[in-house]
Structure formats: C-alpha cells, structure tokens
Amino acid sequence: TARTEKREFQTEVKQLLHLMVHSLYSNKEIFLRELISNASDAGDKLSFLALQDDSLFEGDGDLRIWIEPDKEAGTLTLRDNGIGMTRDEVVANLGTIARSGTAEFLRQLSGDQKKDSRLIGQFGVGFYSAFIVASRVEVFTRKAGAPASEGVYWSSEGDGQFELGEAELAERGTRLVLHLRDDEKEFLDSWRLKSLVRKYSDHVAVPVMMREEPAPAEDGDDTPAPAWEQVNAATALWTRGKSEISDEEYQDFYKHVSHDYSDALTWSHNRVEGKLDYTSLLYVPGKAPFDLWQREAPRGLKLYVQRVFIMDDAEQFLPLYLRFIKGVIDSNDLSLNVSREILQNDRTVAALKAAMTKRALGMLEKLADNDAEKYQQFWDEFGAVLKEGPAEDYANREAVAKLLRFASTQTGDAAQNVSLADYVGRMKEGQKAIYYVVADGHRNAVGSPHLEVFRKKGIEVLLLSDRIDEWLMSHLNEFDGKPLQDVARGALDLGELEDEAEKKAHEETDKQFASLTAEIAKILEADVDSVRTTHRLTDSPACLVVAEHDMGAQMRRILEAAGQ
C-alpha cells in the first residue's frame, strides 16, 4: 500500500460514529446484517450494470459473499465480488454523509436522544456499524471493470481520521477486515456467525459462503482449509410464498430495504398476474425519518424487473402523500432497460402507481380496522403527510378520508384520534353536516367562540389546528354523503337542530337590533363585509366569520408566508 494519506472524516460522520457505537452497543450483532446488506447491494448494482456491459463480470458472474473468521489474527473478513468502489467513491461513501439535514438534526439532539437507538438508527446504521465491534476496519476494494492497479485501501480506527491508499487487487469487489475488540471475540465463532447469517440475512439474494466445519484436527499444520458452503437460503424474500415467510423474516427484510433500524408497523405482500404482472411488498415504518419534510429526502420503492435490481428510491410508483411507504416492486412488464426518464411517462408505470396507491391505502385501512393502537402510532408519525392526500389524489380522496383522524370536542384534548366515521356515528338526530373549526393551535380551536352554540346543543365539532388542515378541508367537501361545514364560515344554519321557538326568537332579535347592526356596519365599513346578529354565541359578545367562499385565515397566512 504505497502512497497512503491521512484524511479527516466529515464532522457529521465523527459525531454519528461516536453516537452509534454507544447507542447501538446493546444490539451489536446487527453489524453483520448491515455489512452483508451492503455486499448484497453491491452485487445487485453490478448485475444491473452488467445488463448493458457484461464484460464487467470479468468472466465471473456468480455473485457471492464470503465470511471468514481468523481466530489467530482476531479478524473477521467479509468479501464480496460486487461492484466495488473507486477511490472517489470510497472517500464519498466511507467518509461523509450526504443526506441533507443531518448536521442540523444531530445538533438538535438532546442528551437522552443521543442514547436513543431508534433516533440514531434512522440514519441507516450501515457501514459505520462495523466500529461497534471492531477497533480497526480495513477496506480493500476495486471497481468492476477497472484494472488491478486501481485498487483502493482504506483503514480507520473510527476515531476521526481514516487512511487512504492504493492497492493492487486482482479480484474485483470489496473486502472488509474487521479487527475485533478483545471483548468481541464471540464473532470469531463460526457457529455463532452462521446462526446470525441465517437469522438476519436468509432473504439476501446473494449466497453467503462460509467454511464447512473442519474435521477434528490431525497432527501437523498442513490440513487444507475446509470447503466453502452456502449458509443462507439466498432467495429474494418477495419471490417466496407468504405462508412460508415468518414475521421475523419480513422485519429483517424491511431493515434491509429501508435502512431503518426499528421494526415496521405492518406490511402488504402481493403477487399479481393478469393485465399487470408484478410482485410488491410494501411496508409502513414505525417511525418518521428526521427528513420527512425535506424535499430532497430519499423516497420511493426499490425497483426490480424480473428479479433484477434496477434502482433504489424509484419515486414514480407512489404519490407524494405516501412518501413514507418503503418496499419493493418487482415488475415483469417493464423492460430491463428502464431508466428514471422512462419511468416518468410510461403507461405501465402509471398503472403500477395506481395499483401501489390502492395497496398502500388498503394496508392502512386494514391496520386501522385491526389494530387501533398501532394505527394511532402510525397517525401520530405520518398523519400530517396523509392529509396532503385529498388535494394530490382526488380520485382516492374517499379512501384517504376514511383514514383521517382529528381532535374533537368529544374529548377536547389534542390527540387526533377521531375518525369521520366515528363522528358520523355520533351525529344528532336531524344533524345534516359534519362540523369543524380551524384555528392556529389546538388551544385556540378549543377556545373558539364559534363553538359556543354547539356546546349548548351538545353537537360534536372537529378541532383542526395543523398547518395543513384548511388546505385539506378545501379539498374535502363531504364524507359519507354529509357535507363538511366550517363553523366559522358564512351564516350558520343548524337546520332541523333548531326548533321553531328558537327560529322565531332569532327573527325577533334580528328585527330588534337591525338599526344597531346597520350602525356598526357603517363604522366598520372598511374592514368587514357585513354585520349581523347571531345565535351561535352564548358567552362572547361578538365574533368574526369568514364568508362562505372566502379564503380562511390559516390559508391566508400560509400564502402570505410564501410571499403571495
């Protein structure tokens, strides 16, 4: 390894390395899953490129991952014959974190959060997890198709620096040498390793090879190393039948495709033959990633065509309001040559997107029906994203409406846990509309003077206070045949909820105060449209209402903030 140089990790990497080693230590064996996952991704990427240029296989198209412990040296070696990396790629992939917002997120972590494995895990523990068990990691890698002389050597103790150099590497792909810490020698035991491979990586499509158990030692040192054997099943999980797959396997596969560290909430696995021919496996994560609201955050499905990996983060198969869904789609209709450009306006892709959207919504509906607690967990993490649905996807607005949850005067607290169906089930005799109020913040919604008459009559009102709520409601006009009515809008007509006596009394009041309202209207001429008496207040003397078709206060503020 001539010409080595020392380099510093990017600051975020240093911080993350430190946090990771400490927060994930209690589940340290996952390093093996992560490194095998990378080796398998590397095989996928090579197969994909070799579709265009099979010289990249260099005569060896049998992709493999080899794992070899060396008890004497105290090292664990993982090798793959996947795509490999160039020097620049090594520096970018093993020295920086490209995901935007990372620095900001890390800075905001409190002391306790820094120990929360779920928070740290959302970065995709990845390659750096090697440092949980290793005091030094060496990487030898050579890109497929590059000459042996362009091999790269990388080495680090995970402290803040890494060493970078050249290496002559006859074999393409990547070899990692983990120098295990003294108290991590359990990972040199091949029984232990094999059981971990089966546990975490059975579904990885590339065969993972380890040495067969040696025959009892004979005298002399020159017994040849035992032959390699395949340890994992090496069939892509989604190609197997549902009934053969355990929940644990689904969860392990989830971690492989999502780069998430915690479990998924639920999943939906479907094989479809007919007009469209595909297999999909979609997951709902348990936790929102820190960059859920960032435009450039990675999203989309892992795309395979006829079992061949094509790309990560294929965004074209799901609408934006379902951007939290993770998973795989394997199509038999698309060509192996598809590119991101082709995906943009392909009719099959449009049909697949419609199908995936239905699946995802169906999966959420099922979760809501079967497990209210988990659904609430989903809603608390992703509800605000789902609220973009009716505006983005008019055709599915009813399916989305069923999934919505709101705070309500029924409970009065801020938890969003009332569905429109719940509300409808509690509607009063003679009540025609679903009533809601929109305000800046839950407390303002609860305290809204518009609620007074509803309280008096015992009518439930939904309390909306998310930034997006008015936008949502402007695209949702009815549910279950009942109009959604903003209580702060227009003249309030409670219809049959009022009795004759009340109606009479109101007409009387109108007459009685006609000259007063006219007088006030004149004074406020520049600011208001009209002034009238109202029966919607019981305690407050007056309130402002928005005309039926005017923009609400919340929308106005959003547009103002956007400079419109």
The least CB distance from residue 165 to ligand ADP, in Å, is 18
Instruction: Tell me if 207 contacts Mg ion by CB under 5 A.
Output: no
3-state SS assignment for residue 435: strand
Largest CA distance in the chain: 115
SS (H, E, C) 281-350: EEEEECCCCCCCCCCCCCCCEEEEECCEEEEEEEHHHCCHHHCCCEEEEEECCCCCCCCHHHHHCCHHHH
Supply angle C-alpha 397, 400, 401, rounded to 5.
80
Handedness of CA 496, 497, 501, 506 (dihedral sign): negative
The least CB distance from residue 37 to Mg ion, in Å, is 5
- Answer for which of 32, 63, 85, 144 binds ligand ADP (CB under 6 A) is 85
Instruction: Tell me if 126 contacts ligand ADP by CB under 6 A.
Output: yes
3-state SS assignment for residue 3: coil
Instruction: Tell me if 174 contacts ligand ADP by CB under 6 A.
Output: yes
Which one, of 469, 417, 477, lies nearest residue 444 by Cα?
469
**Residue 513 binds which entry of Mg ion, ligand ADP, none, CB below 5-8 Å type-dependent:** none
Q: Whole-angstrom Cα distance, residue 498 to residue 473?
A: 26
- Answer for which of 15, 38, 102, 155 binds ligand ADP (CB under 6 A) is 38
- Answer for which of 127, 365, 392, 510 binds ligand ADP (CB under 6 A) is 127
**Residue 12 binds which entry of ligand ADP, Mg ion, none, CB below 5-8 Å type-dependent:** none
Which one, of 361, 363, 346, lies nearest residue 276 by Cα?
346
Query: Crossing angle, helix 514-523 and helix 500-512, to 10 degrees?
Result: 60
Instruction: Tell me if 38 contacts Mg ion by CB under 5 A.
Output: yes
Tokens of 293: 């609201």
**Residue 15 binds which entry of ligand ADP, Mg ion, none, CB below 5-8 Å type-dependent:** none
Site string for Mg ion, 119-158 (x = CB under 5 A): -------x--------------------------------
Q: Which residue is nearest to ligand ADP (CB)?
A: 126
**Residue 169 binds which entry of ligand ADP, Mg ion, none, CB below 5-8 Å type-dependent:** none
Tokens of 432: 């025609």
Q: Which stretch binds ligand ADP (CB under 6 A): 24-32, 80-88, 113-121, 494-502?
A: 80-88
Tokens of 487: 């209580």
**Residue 42 binds which entry of Mg ion, ligand ADP, none, CB below 5-8 Å type-dependent:** ligand ADP
Q: Whole-angstrom Cα distance, residue 22 to residue 333?
A: 46
Instruction: Tell me if 43 contacts ligand ADP by CB under 6 A.
Output: no
The least CB distance from residue 85 to ligand ADP, in Å, is 5
Judged by the rule CB under 6 A, the positions of this chain that interact with ligand ADP are 34, 38-39, 42, 80, 82-85, 93, 124, 126-127, 174, 259
